[in-house]
Structure 1
Amino acid sequence: MNNKTTHRSPDQRSTMDLAAAVERFVAQGGVIDVIKEGNVSPPRSTPAPANTPDDAQERNSKVHLLKDLVAKGAGMSALQYSLRMNRKEIKQLAFEHGVKIAFSRPISEIKREALQDPMEIDDLVAGHAMHYSSLGYTAVEIARLLDLTVRQVWDIGKAYRFEFQQREDDDTP
């Protein structure tokens, strides 16, 4: 059984592909060094990119930005996003320039206010909350009107045993 194929042999195809690749490389400005048989070419060392003034200026701007962000209390994720560096590079940069990154911070005062006991809110405010609730206001709207947090409004409702209206289309935070 003799089956003739119209495909070229793999050796011919790779030789032609290699020749085409070499022609493209030379056409794009590439240079091919010819080495005589038996000689070994010395390994080429790629010159290390020298620190140019642009690199030094960019590094200084990153150090300045790092100091500013750390002073504002930015976390590691924010630093990674702003500096476009990985964690290891950021830690190294901070260590080199004496910057201390705070990985855990105390609870802010805003959150402390939200942890107040709902019974500390007087009956007058609770009465206003019940009145607004009976008018159909949501907990978010009541919190905004009475200058309270949403958690405080929900706790008032729980303590005084009344419910708030909920809207499905409510886009307010």
Structure 2
Amino acid sequence: MQRTLATSRKLRILVVERGAPSRGGSGWTDADGPVLVMQMKSETPSAFEQRVLERLALAERDLHHFHTATLLTASSEEEDTATTRERIALALARHCGAHDAAELFLEGTVEHELGVSTPLLALADTVRGALGDRAITIQLNLREPSPPRAAEDSAFWRVDARRFRAS
């Protein structure tokens, strides 16, 4: 018996870095079969990356590809975290990029009054460049920084001008 990929289901994965606000994910619960992968408090960035890669491999083995992925980032810019973030974003984009109308959402914190996040812009550009001719929409969702006590009240706003499409 030959297994085939069910194309009618739109599966979504949400990957959350340790330290990211508890709110986020841009409507990820609206999709069929949402999957959540969160970095545990004691988990190293490389162990977290390995878990994400294993989850993607499991989905591919079972012929259940994610059409939409969201990477919810913390404000940490430590080198090992930034490197792991880039590898995870690339893996998510390559996985989702196998489908038409694939989307990758990168969510992070606004850095200054201009309303941009330089690390997320650079990450989106890196992912776009690495995908070559695969068609995938990469969208940035930026949130205002929250005072430590009001972390639960993080507000999200969408930067529509920052939509990228690999060509």
- Normalised to the residue count of structure 2, the TM-score between the two structures is 0.19
- Structure with greater helix share of residues: 1
- Structure with greater strand share of residues: 2
- Normalised to the residue count of structure 1, the TM-score between the two structures is 0.18
